[in-house]
Amino acid sequence: MKRFSAFALILTLMLSQSFAASDEVEDSPVYAIQNAITSLNQITQSLTYSPESMEKLVLEEVVPLFDFGFIANEVLLVMPSNQQLSNSEAQYFALRLKNNMINTLLYKLVQSQTLKLAFVSAKPELGGKISVKLNISGLSQQGIYFDLWFHKNANNRWQIFDIVLNDDSLIKYYQSTVMIKVDRFGVQGMLQSI
């Protein structure tokens, strides 16, 4: 009986360590990077999906890769101090920004079914962030290089918070768009037109 108890104890310890290790793997930046590349490649290589299936794929596989709340907060940093958004307006803005990004960026990937993303390099950046350089082949002979920026979100999960193409940041693009729209249309106009 003592042998069986010892064996059961050892087996329990081994299983608990393997489950803990699998949780650590899913929370690792390497897993997040591999998952992002796989998911993005999946939508660019999928010729047989119906529009409904493609929408489901984007919403279930690709959208969770992005930290839309963080992106929205970063974009709103350019708002003048006398024109700050209320909490409900900030949530509305984050939702509109998320929908805009999904419709413009992600569905563009879906429409171009000849693209292939390839990992080039990854490097740690200040603040615990990671810059991942990828190459998109299928648009030109050499391909186009761009960076996905990852960070640990508020829930301690690695997510994409910025995309940089030729030193043009997605966050900076939306920041300049917000500034222009606030200047032209005011805060409420910007919220409606983003």
pLDDT tens string, the chain, 194 residues long: the values are: 444 343 333 333 343 343 344 444 567 899 999 999 888 887 776 655 667 777 777 788 888 999 999 999 999 999 888 888 989 999 999 999 999 888 876 666 655 556 788 899 999 999 999 999 998 887 667 778 899 999 999 999 999 999 998 889 999 999 999 999 999 998 888 988 87
Nearest 5°: the CA angle 3, 7, 13 is 145
Rounded to two decimals, what is the model's pTM? 0.79
Number of domains in the chain: 1
What CATH number is attached to the domain comprising 63? 3.10.450.710
The pLDDT of residue 39 is 84
The answer to whether residue 17 is domain-embedded is no
Q: How far is CA 182 from CA 46, 185, 191, in A?
A: 39, 5, 9
Measured CA to CA, the distance from residue 48 to residue 113 in angstroms comes to 10
The answer to whether residue 141 is domain-embedded is yes
3 state SS of 115: coil
Instruction: Show the DSSP H helices in 58-118 as ranges.
Output: 68-75, 87-101, 107-111
The pLDDT of residue 47 is 55
The answer to whether residue 35 is domain-embedded is yes
The pLDDT of residue 82 is 80
**Are the CB atoms for 67 and 153 separated by under 8 Å?**
yes
The pLDDT of residue 3 is 45
Q: Which two tokens stand for residue 11?
A: 């087996």
The answer to whether residue 146 is domain-embedded is yes
The pLDDT of residue 10 is 37
The answer to whether residue 36 is domain-embedded is yes
Strand partners, 137: 116
| CA 150 and chain centroid, separation | 8
The pLDDT of residue 48 is 58
The answer to whether residue 150 is domain-embedded is yes
The one-letter amino acid code at 108 reads: K
Integer-rounded Cα radius of gyration of the chain: 21
| CA 2 and chain centroid, separation | 51
- What is the extent of the structural domain holding 32? 27-193
